[in-house]
Amino acid sequence: MPSIDKLQIINFRNLSEISLSPSRGVNLIYGRNGSGKTSLLEALYVMSSGKSFRSALVDPLIKAGEPEATVYVCTGENAKFGLSKRRHNKTQLRVNGENQKNWDQVARALPVLVIDSGAFELFEGGPRTRRRFLDWGVFHVEPTFLENWRRTAKCLSNRNSLLKSGLSNSDELRAWDVELSIVAHAVDKARAAYFAELLPLFERIYTQLVGGHTHLSVEYKRGWPEGGALEEWLLANRAIDMRYGSTQAGPHRADLEMKVGRRKATERLSRGQAKLVVCALKIAQGELLSAAVGQRCLYLVDDLPAELDSLNRKRVMEHLLTLGSQLFVTSVDAEAVDLNEFQKAETARFHVERGIIIS
């Protein structure tokens, strides 16, 4: 399993220089608002994925007045990961001293899941957020998925360019229809297989979290009607695609549809229930990752006390601990997450104040 034994962060957001040796169990990062707690989690996430869960911009990640931000991680398997983000130069990523062209290797070696206020877009937001959630899981368990996903993106880009140019009857457009249909079915097959494994895990965990039976249903929608090849659908609806200048059906329109009875879950569930849905989905992903490839992910849980009441907070933490994952949990109050409740797990506390660890 991946576990971080050493973490160093320099000039990342408001963090001046952080160096710590985390517990392999629960790590509580506490301090006042603005002290740098979330930035510490963000640095780990950027190391794992190359992206932030807070911003799409690079400059805010680098401390004001500094030319670059660096993150260094050493795992229990003695793997070493180094990241350097510069304002005006290309980001440098290294694994065991070797430069990396992309994040594929790091993402697989350091799978990270985030539970924070933004994670609730998984329930309340648009289909794109749910596709990203689904594709994160498929990427980690299906080796061919990434290449097919990239081919799908290329097909869509070229097809949309032709649609915008008005070449509705060109041989080139028909060729892209065929190619898109082939890779779209491969992407859909991988997503559907993953979801079939994920769903029973989610249903069990969610039922346990809410403490009883639930009428919530979650269904995978592939992005075009069932029962036919995408190529046929693209041909039959080409006029619509021409009107919009983009492809209206395909794997880029996939979604997870959540309902209570016949109504959308967003219309029936409370905010608290919605939070438990998201937590159950994230916990189920970690459980499936472990079952499918024998690897545990890292969980970054930002300000859990603000998102859940004490009972539900305890339930979520207990489920996370059953995964055997390393947890990084932030809180304003050092006592809001009672580490004494989790005596079977290794625990550690780190007090962050004004961008440094003070205890």
Residue 161, pLDDT above cutoff 90: yes
Contact between 4 and 73 (Cβ < 8 Å): yes
pLDDT at 129 over 90: yes
DSSP calls for 120-185: GHHHHS-HHHHHHHHHHHHHHH-TTHHHHHHHHHHHHHHHHHHHHHT-TT-HHHHHHHHHHHHHHH
Helical axes 310-322 vs 271-293, angle rounded to 10°: 10
Asked which of 45-49, 53-57, 347-351 is least confident by mean pLDDT, the reply is 53-57
The CA–CA distances, whole Å, from 338 to 176, 231, 314, 325, 351 equal: 56, 56, 9, 18, 15
Comparing C-alpha atoms, which of 97, 98, 44 is closest to residue 71? 44
Residue 228 pLDDT more than 60? Answer: yes
In CATH, which of 3.40.50.300, 3.40.190.10, 3.40.50.1000, 2.30.42.10 is domain 1-110+328-359? 3.40.50.300
Residue at 89: amino acid letter? N
Asked whether residue 342 carries a pLDDT value surpassing 70, the answer given is no
Q: Is residue 292 within 8 Å of residue 284, measured between CB atoms?
A: no
Mean pLDDT of 43-55: 91
| Mean pLDDT computed over every residue of the chain | 91
pLDDT band at 48 (very low <50, low <70, confident <90, very high): very high
Lowest mean pLDDT among 146-160, 260-274, 324-338: 324-338
* Residue 310 confidence (pLDDT): 82
Return the pLDDT at 196: 98
* Residue 119 in this model has a pLDDT that exceeds 90: no
**Would you place residue 1 in the very low, low, confident or very high pLDDT band (cuts 50, 70, 90)?**
low
Q: How far apart are CA 241 and CA 163, in angstroms?
A: 7
Q: For residue 150, report the phi and psi dihedrals to the nearest 5 degrees.
A: -65, -40
The SS3 call for residue 109 is helix
Q: What is the per-residue pLDDT for 303?
A: 85
For 84-114, how does the pLDDT look when each residue is reduced to its tens digit (9 = 90+)? 998 888 889 999 999 999 899 999 999 999 9
Range of lowest pLDDT (283-287, 298-302, 307-311): 307-311
pLDDT band for position 312 (cuts 50, 70, 90): confident
What does the pLDDT read at residue 343?
A: 64
Give the per-residue pLDDT at 168.
66
For residue 243, how many C-alpha atoms fall within 13 Å in the half-sphere facing its CB?
Answer: 5
Strands 92-95 and 80-86: antiparallel
pTM: 0.93
Structure confidence at residue 87 (pLDDT): 83
Q: Which residues have C-beta within 8 Å of that of residue 288, sequence separation ≥ 6?
A: 137, 141, 194, 197, 198, 201
C-alpha radius of gyration, the chain, whole number: 22
Note the pLDDT tens digit of each residue in 193-225.
Answer: 999 999 999 999 999 998 877 789 999 999 999
Residue 341, pLDDT > 80, answer no
Q: Does residue 314 have a pLDDT over 70?
A: yes
Which band of pLDDT confidence, cut at 50, 70 and 90, is reported for residue 13?
very high
| pLDDT for 359 | 61
Residue-level pLDDT at 159: 94
pLDDT, mean of residues 113-130 = 92
